[in-house]
Structure formats: structure tokens, C-alpha cells
Structure 1
Amino acid sequence: MSKETPCVAVCMIDPKTKLCFGCGRTLPEIARWHAMDSAERLSVMALLPARMADAGLTPIGGSPKRG
């Protein structure tokens, strides 16, 4: 099971979009992350850049963690 995550340890939710400023995930996605299988996580991760751009949010923090 992959431990890849888009988390950059900037866990703040934008009140308008309900997206994390750091990674672009929603609270339900963050809560379920470790229960998701690898394919579901990769699917969510593929959506995050466009989701952040569509919401007008610039990711805060560094690169996503791996490991």
C-alpha cells in the first residue's frame, strides 16, 4: 500500500471553497485518506491541481510528501 499523500503539513481549510489551502483536499477526503485504496488516492491526487486552480487557490507549502 502506497503512503503517498498530497499533504504538505499546511492544514487550513478555506471557508469559502472548503478546500485545504495546502493540498486542495476536502475534509471528508482528508478523513478517509488512509482508508482509500491506492487507485482512489491517485485519482483524487490527479484532480487536485485543477481543483485548486478552479477555486483560485495557490497551494501553500512545499512539495507533497512521499514515503
Structure 2
Amino acid sequence: MIIMIVSPCISICKTDPKTGYCYGCGRNNDEKKIWKQEDTSDQWKIENLKTIKARLSGWQLESFEESYTYKIKNGISLFKKSLKNE
């Protein structure tokens, strides 16, 4: 059984200039590049998801979890869904 690990991008692509982490998904630019590489292992992706969740807190973590869960189930982030409904 093949399990596809969905990218943590939730379409809120703005980088905090102080930390270098994306406000939406908590990744840095290097991590974003690694996610796109075909040879990136599922194990690396699972560990990276744990890492980025540890970076986020409060409302930011809650927002990420809600949108990422929605994306896994529906194939689209909540942000992109809201754009479709406008």
C-alpha cells in the first residue's frame, strides 16, 4: 500500500523575516525545496512534519492543524477553498 504524505503547504506563503519560517506551514526555504525532491523519503517528511509542528504554537498551530487536516481529506487547503467560494 502506497501512502502519499501530503505537503504541509496550506497556501499562506509568507516568510517571517526574523526566523526564516513560513507563517503558514512553519517550514524554511530549504525544507520547502527538500519536500519537492522526488528522492525525499517518507521518513524525512514525517520527521519534518513533527519539526514544523513543534515550531508553531497557539493560534498558528491550531490554524495549521485545521487547514492541513482539511487538505489531507479534501485535496485543497482551507485558504484555497475560501478563494473558490468568493
TM-score (norm 2): 0.62
Match of 1:27 among 21, 26, 29: 29
32-41 vs 14-23, which deviates more?
32-41
SS in 2 for 1:63: helix
Work out the number of aligned pairs and report it. 65
* Greater relative contact order (CA < 8 Å, ≥ 6 in sequence): 1
Check the 8 A contact 1:21/1:57 in 2, yes or no: no
Shift >4 Å, 4+ stretches: 59-62
1:6 CA drift (Å) = 1.1
1:2 CA drift (Å) = 1.5
Name whichever structure is richer in helix by fraction. Answer: 2
Tell me the equivalent position of 1:37. 41
Check the 8 A contact 1:7/1:22 in 2, yes or no: yes
Gap regions ≥5 residues in structure 2: 76-86
CA shift digits 1:9-37 (9 cap, x unpaired): 01110000100000000001001212221
Report the aligned-residue RMSD. Answer: 2.4
Gap regions ≥5 residues in structure 1: none
Using the aligned pairs only, state the percent identity.
31
Check the 8 A contact 1:7/1:23 in 2, yes or no: yes
